[in-house]
């Protein structure tokens, strides 16, 4: 079964592209949702994280406290690499499990939506990687409208992410989503995905 990676910076239009995939019967896996679910429910991942970062990352009920984990990790550059090494292994295992389920149900393909698809190594498990790109100013306007945040904050978020050149270098396909309507972009996405899952 074909595995399609979907990535790109915030505000570029990944959601519209994912709707096109869903319309084709593709099973979509949100890597962020997988990560948060594993943090809440995976005992082996919790044990691995506590083994590396200590019991200070647990709350009073013995669950992973995301804020405590974040403060430990972002205080030490090596800690972030260790966090990624631990969590990415579990994330890839869960994606593999969901992909096998989707194949058993006869889905034509599985799509993995992840902003850090390439950096995490998940992109290497995909047959194709589609980068969704849009001009920076368009993305800033979209984020402001979607999240009700200031231009300054939206601009900082956009500038903190990988640039277009990174996605062009690492993706097998690029979908540009400029000033046109979401429907126009959705139709172009649908056409590309139809050819990819044949």
The domain tally of the chain equals 2
118/139 same-domain check: yes
* Residue 151 pLDDT greater than 90, yes or no: yes
Q: Are residues 68 and 84 in the same domain?
A: yes
Q: What span, in angstroms and rounded, lies between the C-alpha atoms of 84 and 64?
A: 15
Residue 148: strand, helix, or coil: coil
pLDDT at 173: 97
Based on the fold, state whether residues 193 and 125 are members of the same structural domain.
Answer: yes
Torsion angle defined by CA atoms of residues 150, 153, 155 and 156, in that order, rounded to the nearest 10 degrees: 180
* CA atoms of 179 and 62, how far apart (whole Å): 48
Confidence of residue 20 (pLDDT cuts 50, 70, 90): very high
Range of the domain at 101: 28-107
Same domain, 119 and 193: yes
pLDDT tens column, 126-144: 999 999 999 999 999 999 9
Kindly state whether residues 22 and 115 are assigned to the same domain. Answer: yes
Do the beta carbons of residue 23 and residue 190 sit within 8 Å?
Answer: yes
Q: Strand runs (DSSP E) across 41-135, as ranges?
A: 109-113, 128-133
State pLDDT tens for residues 63-118: 999 999 988 888 887 888 899 889 999 999 999 999 999 999 999 999 999 988 99
Q: How far apart are CA 2 and CA 26, in angstroms?
A: 10
């Amino acid at each position: 079964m074909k595995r399609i990676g979907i990535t790109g910076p915030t505000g570029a239009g990944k959601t519209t592209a994912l709707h096109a995939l869903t319309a084709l019967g593709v099973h979509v896996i949100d890597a962020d949702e997988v990560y948060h679910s594993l943090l809440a429910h995976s005992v082996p991942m919790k044990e691995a994280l506590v083994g590396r970062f200590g019991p200070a990352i647990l709350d009073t009920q013995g669950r992973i406290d995301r804020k405590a984990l974040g403060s430990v990790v972002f205080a030490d550059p090596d800690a972030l690499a260790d966090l990624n090494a631990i969590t990415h292994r579990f994330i890839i295992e869960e994606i593999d499990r969901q992909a096998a389920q989707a194949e058993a149900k006869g889905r034509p393909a599985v799509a993995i939506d992840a902003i850090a698809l390439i950096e995490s190594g998940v992109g290497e498990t995909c047959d194709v990687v589609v980068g969704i790109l849009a001009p920076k100013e368009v993305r800033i306007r979209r984020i402001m409208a979607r999240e009700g945040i200031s231009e300054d904050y939206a601009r900082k978020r956009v500038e903190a992410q990988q640039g277009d050149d990174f996605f062009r270098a690492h993706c097998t396909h690029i979908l540009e989503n400029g000033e046109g309507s979401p429907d126009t972009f959705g139709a172009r996405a649908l056409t590309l995905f139809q050819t990819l899952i044949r």
